[in-house]
Structures are given as C-alpha cells and as structure tokens.
C-alpha cells in the first residue's frame, strides 16, 4: 500500500492509499501512534491521518467522485473535514490521472478541486453553515457574535467571537495581535466550552486590512497547528459577517498563506493554497 507524508501550508498529514485494500481499517489507537511525534512520521509527527478510499455513497458514485477521504485527528478521533488535506488528496489523484480537476468525497460532502499551478490547488468548500444548530451550539444565538468570553466577566480579554461551520465547528476571536495571544492556553479552554457539544476549532484572527488576516488556529484533537484550511475559511466568513473584511482575503498562517474567497454569486467558499509532498513509499498490509 502506498504511504505519503504531505503538508498543506505546514499542516502535516500521513496518507494511506487504501483504495485497493478494502480490509485496511484505521483505529483510534493506530491513528494516535502514527501521528505521534518521534513516531513513524518522524520528529514532527502529524496533525491528521488520512485514508484514501473508493467513493462510498450513491450520490458520490452518481457524481463520479474520484476518491473518498477518511480523516483522523492526532488524538484518535475521526472527523468530517480537513481543508488543507482537501487540497493534498486531489493533488495526488491529479498527478495519478493527468487531470486538472478532481471530485473529492468527505463525510462533510462532495468537494470540487482544481489545479491552479504545479503545487497549488483550489477547492470549492461549499457554503458555510451559519445557523446555531448547524455549528452546532448548545442553545440558540446569533452566530455573528456569540456569548463566549475569556477572562473576568466584566472585563474579558477576549470576547464577541463569530461561529462558523465549514464541515467542522469554528469559534473565531478577533484580536489586536495574533502573536501575543496565548493560543496554546486559551485554545483548549474554548475547544471544550459547554456551548459547543461537538467541541470546536478556535481561531485567533488579527485583521490587518480589508483583504489580509493574520491567523493562528487551535484545532480540536490536534492542538496548535501551522495552518488550518477550514479555519482560514471560517475566519474570512466570520470577519466579513462582522464587517471587518471584504469577501476575499489573504490568510497568513505560521506555515504559509491561503487565499480565501466567499463568493456572492453562489455563497460558496473557495480556498486556494499550496501542496507539498515530503515523502512517498510502500507499506506491507
């Protein structure tokens, strides 16, 4: 079975190509062991483990999807979406087939990906989910600004975040200086906030202009990562909903830049960014 180590803007993945190995089953323990620092993927480990499988739903088969992407976080939890992996897996299939467009199936739905240059892919991430029960939140509230605070209740250091679901739930705080925020301390506190029954990814977004955001993201089940594709999409949507940015922006993260556009024409979010193949090899199954 083919095995790859890839990253998208620094977001690192171990990829198992199980399309011809139906008996290969990923487990929480195997995902944690594979992703662990100083494990099979070396000192850095992985943020997520990805399994490539044949399309599995009738809708995907009807739409001629090319591949199904199974996603496991470093803590062993299976999740529905991963924006940066949604560029990496189509890139592998494009190189394999010689095509410039690929349909990807995930548990969050079907995603259309296209090559923009040799090592860059654009993915249509679909429409953001913005209703309180789509995030989901534990109770009704306007998701443009939700009632989550950090610090003293009468003088919080962080407040008024936006909530967006881009295949997984995000809580986005707007900060004056993304570098100064203790993301590694605040992130896990908000990840398990009781308002989020499925936990959440936590973004810390510094608005530098109407078209530029500096972003750091604490990912549920993975921790502070160098990049988060769905987090970048969520940050742009949340910022625009609070009239902080336009509908198109460059998102600057620790591992590189992503370009996000929330199209008015169809309400879809388009994410464009880099792909890097670090290693490929064969494993005995």
Q: Which residues are the active-site residues?
A: 82, 228
Residue the block writes with tokens 């993915």: 123
d(CA 82, CA 43): 22
Comparing C-alpha atoms, which of 25, 196, 168 is closest to residue 86?
Answer: 168
- 165 vs 136: CA distance, rounded Å: 8
What does the alpha-carbon distance between residue 239 and residue 114 come to, in Å, rounded to a whole number?
26
Alpha helices in 117-204 (DSSP H): 183-191
Q: Smallest Cα–Cα separation from 137: which of 114, 162, 101?
A: 162
Q: What is the DSSP letter of 175?
A: -
Give the angle subtended at the CA of 272 by the CAs of 54 and 12, to the nearest 5°.
65
Query: Which 3 state secondary structure label does DSSP give 61?
Result: helix
Q: How far is CA 42 from CA 33, 35, 64, 222, in A?
A: 12, 9, 36, 16
Helix (H) or strand (E) holding 241, with range, is: helix 229-241
- Two structure tokens written together for 82: 């991963």
DSSP state, residue 39? B
């Amino acid at each position: 079975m083919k095995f790859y180590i890839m990253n998208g803007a620094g977001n690192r993945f171990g990829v198992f190509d199980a399309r011809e190995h139906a008996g290969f089953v990923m487990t929480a323990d195997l995902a944690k062991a594979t992703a662990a620092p100083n494990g099979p993927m070396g000192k850095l480990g992985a943020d997520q483990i990805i399994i490539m499988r044949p399309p599995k739903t009738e809708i995907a088969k009807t739409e001629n999807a090319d591949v199904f992407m199974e996603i496991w976080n470093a803590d062993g939890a299976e999740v529905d979406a991963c924006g940066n992996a949604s560029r990496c897996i189509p890139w592998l299939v494009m190189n394999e087939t010689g095509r410039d467009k690929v349909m990807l199936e995930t548990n969050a739905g079907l995603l259309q990906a296209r090559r923009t240059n040799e090592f860059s892919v654009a993915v249509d991430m679909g429409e953001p989910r913005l209703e309180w029960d789509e995030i989901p939140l534990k109770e009704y509230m306007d998701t443009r600004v939700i009632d989550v605070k950090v610090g003293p209740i009468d003088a919080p250091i962080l407040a008024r975040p936006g909530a967006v679901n881009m295949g997984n739930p995000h809580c986005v705080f707007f900060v004056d200086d993304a570098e100064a925020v203790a993301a590694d301390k605040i992130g896990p506190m908000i990840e398990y906030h009781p308002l989020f029954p499925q936990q959440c990814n936590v973004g810390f977004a510094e608005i530098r202009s109407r078209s530029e955001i500096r972003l750091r993201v604490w990912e549920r089940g993975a921790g502070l990562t160098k990049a988060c594709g769905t987090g970048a999409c969520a940050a742009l949507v949340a910022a625009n909903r609070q009239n902080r940015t336009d509908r198109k922006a460059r998102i600057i993260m620790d591992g590189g830049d992503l370009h996000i556009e929330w199209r008015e024409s169809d309400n879809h979010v388009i994410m464009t960014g880099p792909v890097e193949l670090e290693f490929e090899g064969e494993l005995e199954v």
